[in-house]
Structure 1
């Protein structure tokens, strides 16, 4: 229940000043405003509370947001989708239903802790009769009609390209590029660096130049992104969206099949597409102003995952979108928590996502494995000062719905919060003693690591693992893990349940990691690693393709299972009972596991004869 208070319990002058600054009440005479304030009720709501549902009942009051933010839905048939708008301090809602006396709209839900002022409709009606009030209503009706026309179901990136591109030469100065961007009213300029090849400069990169006091006479080639995210005409809007989420990009370039630039799309362009709702949620997470709002926003992610699955998007693509949203949640949690600790330097450490998060393969049951790498020269006591903040970050992620191991693979654990040089020394120790102290497990975690905050270039520990294939003892252990079939279930009717992660997905992940490392590939995702290693001495192209297909099939089965568990109020897990599968699904799973074991067997046999780079056998 909301906490309510009459003006007598409040500072009347403060409330009067606040309402007097909000349209259309700023047009009222002091006596009229005082009469409204005298009958106002101030209420406080917690995150997720329904403040108003005017679709189901007639109301005689309207609401003004005093503190916090409120999500607003104006279409009854879209209540399960993202809100039509969000009102902050000074925003009004409920006035249409209140002034007409009809059960029309909206539904309003608190985003984090919210304080609203409830006002009687009959007392505030004169405010809307003024010229200022009429203008307010006209603007609101126009914007509402614009939204109510319907959201076009764009499916191709072609439909999102609205304007011709701006292209500048590599030798153009930063100042010249900025001027041309302003003249074209664009937030980017593509930089031609070769036939069919473009770099990218944006408003953000120009601001960085100015903030660093660098000369704007420099050529744009010095500050551009040389490898911007790019898609071709004909690509799905979802594919372009994934590029945005993966790279936290300001712009995605769109080319034709010959490589000629056709235009660009920005995150805001995806908001109009019902098939790319992830972009809107991504922006809401990125712009959350409090941890309460961030947690509340992220709780909409499982529904988004369900929607994407229902639309037929490939499970690998759904998981990529989900992983990107996890990245955004973690980044924003770090920023918001560190803002509350001004004595700590948010730029002194790099946050690495490890395991499935590092591979961009996080699902609804995934733990948030992570580590941090501090600047060299920081002592243990100084690093220890950051531990309470890391514990707060872990708590934010948990309240948002993620699982975070506080005592294991987490920056809260001193073993996973080291300086760059300490990480380098630890990595070299693991490589020299791969069979001791869980060294190979830690190696796998860090090999799959990906920085998402701080120094986004390869950290020192990753450079150590860059020549991992030159360490035959570690490669032997990794290969042994890859071809180990001891956990693989045998005989469909001998088991009552299957752990999809341990018994089906993990073997593929291990094979892909070893195979990619053996050919010196730097790919991190399982399917990307399989493609990179396809046709190598130990993994044939056919077997790599089969494992990739099996990975996709089992991941889709895993996601569906976890969404069903969430729907029934259960905690998502990787264990599935055979009786919960249809006969067709059970057969598909059985065949998939059979393919995995057969490929593991072939790899083990081939590895006996495949030489390493040094000419000695792998096993």
Structure 2
């Protein structure tokens, strides 16, 4: 035993994650109940593969050698050397399973053993979630769990759902009995959240009575995820929003559960999430570029771990968002005279739709707050050019046609955007109206006030402009799915542009169809579902395009990952001889299916009145 005073241990823990998130009283209780022990060189501290534990171990002094995989116990080389402040044993404690590690003193070492009942709350904080992300690497530490899990795997208990008029007193009593936060059902797939923190802040501190209705104190900002979202995506959102809880619903908007940072301890969190945090915290352009360079190889790892291609692409778009946000932060830190809160940055194109791949350019636009002085706008645009330079350093190229925030056409005040959108809607043939409409309706705010850009809301009135609908449809069908040669071995073309002649036609049809039914969703498949069943896009046509789009995106992603691994620049032009016969036949069938839908839309537009295009019930 070594003489470490409780006050000294409490102060020590307060300087190291995840315990730094706890208050003085909790740290004092830990320090008094912790068992601190000194070990000689090579002494076994704990073998987590053989003995389950209800404790967490913290290195107080010296070093500890650890093995994360029990199959390597015969090896003389440890996986890690832990030093003062490092923690081990927490995964086994949180999951109740013998998951390691095996820890041995490396020289004289002092270790504190903290009871799980006292250590557990540290991992239930947002700081604890970040700690888990940065320290849990599944390919070494979680060899006996599935390589990927979804959010529904994290839900352990039924949610506590309450009526908006339920009194705060009743809600608090139920929360105490169930040990979970309360979710207020507002109807229509909308929810409010009541947590212990909300009760303290909005009832005890504000002096409200126990008869106050739940609707008056609930928090309506809790982020929402879906059952089939991956645990990695959900944790990214929790960290990005700095949230205490995530609400989990099914695709119909029915509440299925609530998850918190601690729940992610039982999920095989991937190294990709840790990389996400490194990108967020990059302190320089060089560091951001270094971390960004690790993203492309990660995609292949995600695929190999069992995550579907569509999910991998969505996760990649999430990484692009993080890189862009950090680039904005780094650039504007060098320009204190410019407010980083005076504008909203919109991702356009494939990243706006969350469909970016390795070949995708970074298309962008900016909506300034109307209070921004016109004289300072050029300075902002110069800063946006610097952001583009940072992104180029990170391996992300700007759009070659000038669809970037630094261009005057794509950086305007909110009022100017609104006026321009109305002009395009009224006369889409003028001022590149059709093209600008197609670009802006794909816009997704990733920095700044998400409610600021009003440009896309203008297009909700599309159905009131039949001539505009017809012109936009013609523009949407301009890119045809096609193969330039017959599919016979002797005459087979050597390459195929999978974006231009396969995916883009589907993207354009989906965008137009969503506009025609007044839907604001962005992903191509979601747009097709929203418009499914209309006269222009019957359910079977929508289902066909959804399937074809997913198949082509999967093939495109796999091909580009292969290119990247071979040291080539990822491209949308696939070399057919490198594809399997099955993949070549998939492309041929996909083109035929898309072309058939396009021909049908052409025919319908000629004999059905524009006003009926979005109506249901027509074959």
TM-score if structure 1 supplies the norm length?
Answer: 0.69
1:199 aligns with one of 178, 192, 195? 192
1:503 matched to which residue of 2?
Answer: 501
Post-superposition shift, 1:103? Answer: 4.2
2:78 matched to which residue of 1?
Answer: 104
Distance 1:258 1:320 in 2: 20
SS in 1 for 2:472: helix
1:68 matched to which residue of 2?
Answer: none
Distance 2:137 2:330 in 1: 34
1:613 matched to which residue of 2?
Answer: 611
SS in 2 for 1:403: coil
Distance 1:512 1:406 in 2: 24
Contact kept? 1:353, 1:449, Cα under 8 Å: yes
SS in 2 for 1:467: helix
The alpha-carbon distance between structure 1 residues 199 and 315, as it changes in their structure 2 partners (threshold 3 A), is same
Is 1:150 equivalent to 2:150 in the alignment?
no
Give the gaps of 5 or more residues in structure 2. 1-10, 14-58, 68-74, 83-104, 120-131
Within 5 Å, give how 1:472-551 maps onto structure 2. 472-484=466-478, 488-491=482-485, 492=487, 493=491, 495-551=493-549
Distance 1:406 1:93 in 2: 53
Q: Deviations over 1:503-528 (max 9, x none)?
A: 10000011111112112222211111
Distance 1:348 1:527 in 2: 33
2:27 matched to which residue of 1?
Answer: none
Distance 1:340 1:172 in 2: 50
Distance 2:499 2:214 in 1: 47
Distance 1:507 1:390 in 2: 31
Is 1:449 equivalent to 2:443 in the alignment?
yes
The alpha-carbon distance between structure 1 residues 259 and 608, as it changes in their structure 2 partners (threshold 3 A), is closer
Distance 1:174 1:290 in 2: 47
Distance 2:334 2:467 in 1: 46
Post-superposition shift, 1:226? Answer: 7.2
SS in 2 for 1:322: helix
Distance 1:300 1:549 in 2: 31
Is 1:394 equivalent to 2:388 in the alignment?
yes
Give the gaps of 5 or more residues in structure 1. 1-20, 24-86, 109-125
The alpha-carbon distance between structure 1 residues 256 and 401, as it changes in their structure 2 partners (threshold 3 A), is closer
1:229 matched to which residue of 2?
Answer: 224
Q: Deviations over 1:456-514 (max 9, x none)?
A: 12622112122123223332222113333656224334632111111100000111111
Larger CA deviation: 596-605 vs 374-383: 374-383
Contact kept? 2:510, 2:527, Cα under 8 Å: yes
Distance 2:198 2:279 in 1: 22
Post-superposition shift, 1:607? Answer: 1.2
Larger CA deviation: 341-350 vs 303-312: 303-312
Is 1:306 equivalent to 2:310 in the alignment?
no
SS in 2 for 1:552: helix
Contact kept? 2:349, 2:443, Cα under 8 Å: yes
Contact kept? 2:369, 2:414, Cα under 8 Å: yes
Q: Deviations over 1:276-298 (max 9, x none)?
A: 55444334433444444433333
Larger CA deviation: 239-248 vs 351-360: 239-248
Contact kept? 1:267, 1:279, Cα under 8 Å: no
The alpha-carbon distance between structure 1 residues 467 and 244, as it changes in their structure 2 partners (threshold 3 A), is farther
The alpha-carbon distance between structure 1 residues 268 and 555, as it changes in their structure 2 partners (threshold 3 A), is farther
Distance 1:596 1:424 in 2: 34
Over the aligned positions, Cα root-mean-square deviation in angstroms equals 4.5
Number of residue pairs the alignment of both structures matches: 500
Q: Deviations over 1:122-150 (max 9, x none)?
A: xxxx9964xxx4237999xx999999763
Larger CA deviation: 380-389 vs 353-362: 380-389
The alpha-carbon distance between structure 1 residues 258 and 556, as it changes in their structure 2 partners (threshold 3 A), is closer
Contact kept? 1:323, 1:357, Cα under 8 Å: yes
Is 1:358 equivalent to 2:352 in the alignment?
yes
Q: Deviations over 1:276-326 (max 9, x none)?
A: 554443344334444444333333322332122224433222211211222
Larger CA deviation: 301-310 vs 165-174: 165-174
The alpha-carbon distance between structure 1 residues 208 and 497, as it changes in their structure 2 partners (threshold 3 A), is farther
Post-superposition shift, 1:243? Answer: 5.1
1:190 matched to which residue of 2?
Answer: 183
Contact kept? 2:65, 2:106, Cα under 8 Å: no
Within 5 Å, give how 1:184-333 maps onto structure 2. 189-193=182-186, 198-200=191-193, 221=215, 224-225=219-220, 228-231=223-226, 235-236=227-228, 238-239=229-230, 241-242=232-233, 245=236, 248=240, 250=243, 251-254=245-248, 263-266=257-260, 269-270=263-264, 272-274=266-268, 277-333=271-327
The alpha-carbon distance between structure 1 residues 473 and 257, as it changes in their structure 2 partners (threshold 3 A), is closer
SS in 2 for 1:352: strand
Distance 1:172 1:289 in 2: 47
Distance 2:190 2:418 in 1: 36
SS in 2 for 1:190: strand
Contact kept? 2:342, 2:369, Cα under 8 Å: yes
2:568 aligns with one of 562, 566, 570? 570
Is 1:345 equivalent to 2:325 in the alignment?
no
2:429 matched to which residue of 1?
Answer: 435
Distance 1:146 1:604 in 2: 52
Post-superposition shift, 1:399? Answer: 2.3
Distance 1:208 1:345 in 2: 31
Is 1:471 equivalent to 2:465 in the alignment?
yes
SS in 1 for 2:607: coil
Contact kept? 2:345, 2:364, Cα under 8 Å: yes
Distance 1:256 1:569 in 2: 41
Is 1:410 equivalent to 2:404 in the alignment?
yes
Contact kept? 2:61, 2:110, Cα under 8 Å: no
Contact kept? 1:255, 1:263, Cα under 8 Å: yes
Post-superposition shift, 1:386? Answer: 1.7
Q: Deviations over 1:181-213 (max 9, x none)?
A: 899997x64224469974235699899999xx9
The alpha-carbon distance between structure 1 residues 387 and 174, as it changes in their structure 2 partners (threshold 3 A), is farther
1:111 matched to which residue of 2?
Answer: none
1:170 aligns with one of 160, 164, 176? 164
The alpha-carbon distance between structure 1 residues 581 and 415, as it changes in their structure 2 partners (threshold 3 A), is same
Contact kept? 2:231, 2:269, Cα under 8 Å: no
